[in-house]
Each structure stands twice: as structure tokens, then as C-alpha cells.
Structure 1
Amino acid sequence: MTQLDPTTPVERPTQRSQAKADRRAALLDAAAGLFAERGFNGVSIEDLGAAAGVSGPAVYRHFASKQAVLEALLVGVSERLLAGGQEVSENAPGAESALLALIGFHIDFALGEPDTIRVQDRDLDALPDAPRRQVRRLQRRYVEVWMRVLGALHPGLADDELRVRVQGTFGLLNSTPHTARIGGAPVAAAQVRPVLERMAWAALTSD
């Protein structure tokens, strides 16, 4: 592996490139909120631009189409979940701590990005075939990260049961945007988190 020279200056983003990246991130954030509220088909390019503080045509400087925005949103979150899951599981000292870390990692996602979960649930089929298959592949690999950790903790479980336990736990945690509400108002994350942690651990490890 090539070693980097510590004396070599690291190339930093220019002000212009950083501004472009920030605008793209703002558009994706706006898209998550609007798609979650109205559905993919209920949002126009002009709506996306207005929510991010730009004109509709300016959106095309960052994305070729509204479908490209949805693709960036859903492929991007699937990539982040896989990379994050791999990182937390590999850095844990043992199977039990790795599973706890994965649970915490996914709860962070569920509590922090409820709009993205809603869009994933409702609008994945609005993607063209290729990016939809890519999302599914990334999701399967994320499930497999959990299965490997859970299998190390419970080596007697068959793969089919490991998969059911993991996917059932995702169903539990990903329902948070819909269920963690009282009288229509969101419940504070500090109240929800310990409940989710206990329930996820029980779902994964019960005899």
C-alpha cells in the first residue's frame, strides 16, 4: 500500500466547491422533507429549489432530474448505513459490544433521519431499475453485517433465522418516525432511545 507523505499538503476544497457541496446537501435535505410530506409525485423541481433557497432551474446544476435527486437521496443513505455499520462493528472489541454498537448506530439514523425513512418506505419504486437494484444490494449487505455479528454471538442460529431477526429489528427501529409520537407530537429522543435499545436487543437475542 502506498504510504502518504505527512509533509505533503492536503488539498482542501475551494470556497466555490464547498459552496456547491453545501447547496447539494441542502437540496437533498429539502427533498427528504418534501418527499416525506407530499410523496415523490407531489413535489416539483420548483418546489425543491424554493425549499433550498434557489430557483427551480438552478436545481439542474446539481441534479439532472427529480429522479436523480431521489436516487442520490436513497442510494446515498444506503451507502452511509453500510459504511457506518461496517465501521462500528469492526471497531468493537467483541460480538456483544459490536451488536450494541450497531443498535445504537441504527437508532441514531432512525431518530435523526425520519423523513428519509418515510421516503424509502413509500417512494423506492419511483426509482429506475438500476438504482433501485443498487439500493437493494446495499441494503442486503447492511443486513449481512448485522447477521455476521449476531451469528458470532449466537452461532447456533441458522442464516434464515438470523436474517429474520435482523430485518424484524429494522422494522421495529424504522417504525420510529410513525410511532414515536404522542397526540401527534414527536416524543423526545431521550425518552425513545432507551426503549428502542431494550426492544432491539430483546428481538435480536431472545431464546
Structure 2
Amino acid sequence: MTRPPDPSRAASGDDAPAPPRERTEPAPSTTAPASTPASGPGLAPAATPPTTARDRAKAERRAALLAAAARLFAERGFDGVTLGDIGEAAGVSGPAVYRHVASKQALLGAILVDVSERLLTGGRAVAAAHLPPESATPSPSTPAGTPIEPTPTRCVAEDARGPARTASGSLAALVDFHVAFALAEADVIRVQDRDLDRLAPDDRRTVRLLQNAYVAVWTDAMAAESPDAETPAERRVRALACFGLINSTPHSVRGVPTSRVRPTLTRMALAALTA
């Protein structure tokens, strides 16, 4: 998922938004949701859904390896885990591990690229679903091809120190989505925060591109809400600050029920976003 991208790199070639790569791997039947990437450097490709019992068993073993890797990387760090440890945790012994993955680094790349893709895809879907109905269709007088500016619905915010800033329906929905995602992906967030720099260069670039595209989903929603209130750089600062609050919390609150953490974290993130 998203460790806030370094704003100082925003102008570099690595930070230009790019569409996520398509994934065709079926969702694993067990364990963590971070274990579903389809392919990557050093990984066996998964071009089509498995149709035979042998194919299904292979896909399940591969998913188990990715889930075990995410869990162990979170617990011990990248350098504290071997491929043998991951294979043992996944029930895949000895040389059989190398039938599914070439290296630890390939596993790390598969985990972090996948979670970044799912975050971007989910964020875009949330933003699109919360556009008001009137913004979805141009009026008869609107020339074909003219970009449609959504008219956001307002749902939040008070500030006793001055004029209230509000969060639109799409921004509030994005906060709710990101909080739920972060709580479900606490291990992967921890891995990304600690081990992002251990990725192979191509995977690191891909993750950065996906992250910046996700930031753009948020800044576009802010711009639609208040087009003249801030510069693009200021909107980016607000988005990254909100991510930092949300992402830093889940792995620190283990033992507290999600039903208690989620509403509190959502309110705090909305307050930070609208400050």
C-alpha cells in the first residue's frame, strides 16, 4: 500500500502517473488479501485462471507463499527472513519453492506492486461512484468531449478557529476506503514502510508510479471540491499528511477491535484532511 511518496521526487521521471498493470490471478482461497499478484520479475506467470486441479493447487501454493512472505517480512524484516523460512511457513518445502519464485526480492516486488495496484483501482472506483448523478452526463449545451466538473456533495467539517473547510462525498468515501484498506493490510503497510528500498529498480519505479496515481485521485477530488482554494502542491501535502495518519496507526493498535479503531481513525483523518 501507500507509504506517502517523497514530495521531493515529484518532478522526477519515476513520479509520473501510469496505469496499473492488469492482473489475472484468481483471489487466494485463504490468508491475507496481499497475496494475489499475478506475475512479476522472478515469479511464475499466471496468465489465465487455473482450470485443472493441478493448476489450482499450483495457484494456491503460490498464493500461500506470497501471504507467508508478507507476514514474515512484517514480523522480522526483509533481511531477517529466508526463502526457506517462507517455504516452511507456506508448507512448500525445499527446492519446490523455486518452482514458484526466483528470489525473496521477487516476492517483495509482487507483494508491494499488487497492493499498490489494488489501492489505486479501489480508490478510482470509490471516487467515480461518489460523483453526483448530474455530473455523469453533459447537459445538451455542453460540447462533446468537454471535461465534466463534478459538483460534490458536502458531508463534514467544523473548525472553531475560522471558516469551515468541508469534505465532499467523494473525499469522505476515499477516507473511509483508505482506513478500511489500511486496517486490512497492516502487515503490508509495515513491509512497505520499512523495505520499499529493497525492491528491484523496476518494481520500485512501478510502485512509485502507482502511488503517485493514487495521490492524484485524492488531489483531483480536492480540486473538484474547491478548485481555487489551493495550489496542486498544497493539495498534495494535505493528501500525504492524511495518508501518514492513517497508515501509521493500524500496526500500532493490535488488540483493539477494528470496530473501535475504524470510526475513530476515520474521524481523525477527516479532521486532518479538512484542517
Q: In the alignment, is the contact (CA less than 8 A) between 1:47 and 1:56 conserved in 2?
A: no
Query: Tell me, which stretches of 5 or more residues in structure 2 are unaligned?
Result: 1-47, 133-151, 153-167
Give the corresponding residue for 2:215.
143
Matched residue SS, 1:13? coil
Matched, 1:119 2:181: no
RMSD: 1.6
Matched residue SS, 1:54? coil
Structure 2 length-normalised TM: 0.66
Deviations 1:109-163 (A, max 9, x none): 1111111011001111111211111111110000001110122112222111110
Matched, 1:195 2:264: yes
Q: Offset of 1:17 from its aligned partner?
A: 2.5
Q: How does 1:10-21 map to 2 (within 5 A)?
A: 13-14=50-51, 15-21=53-59
Deviations 1:37-81 (A, max 9, x none): 111111011100011111132222221111100000011111111
Give the corresponding residue for 2:5.
none
Alpha-carbon separation, structure 1, partners of 2:87 and 2:210: 29
Structure 2 CA distance for partners of 1:56 and 1:87, relative to 1, 3 Å: farther
- Identity, % of aligned positions: 59
Give the corresponding residue for 2:239.
166
Give the corresponding residue for 1:22.
60
Structure 2 CA distance for partners of 1:130 and 1:13, relative to 1, 3 Å: closer
Letter of the 1:201 partner, please give it.
L
Letter of the 2:179 partner, please give it.
I
Greater share of helix residues, 1 or 2? Answer: 1
Q: In the alignment, is the contact (CA less than 8 A) between 1:46 and 1:57 conserved in 2?
A: no
Give the corresponding residue for 1:3.
none
Matched residue SS, 1:196? helix
Q: Offset of 1:18 from its aligned partner?
A: 2.5
Comparing 136-145 and 84-93, the one that deviates more? 84-93
Higher relative contact order, chain-length normalized (CA < 8 Å, sep 6+): 2
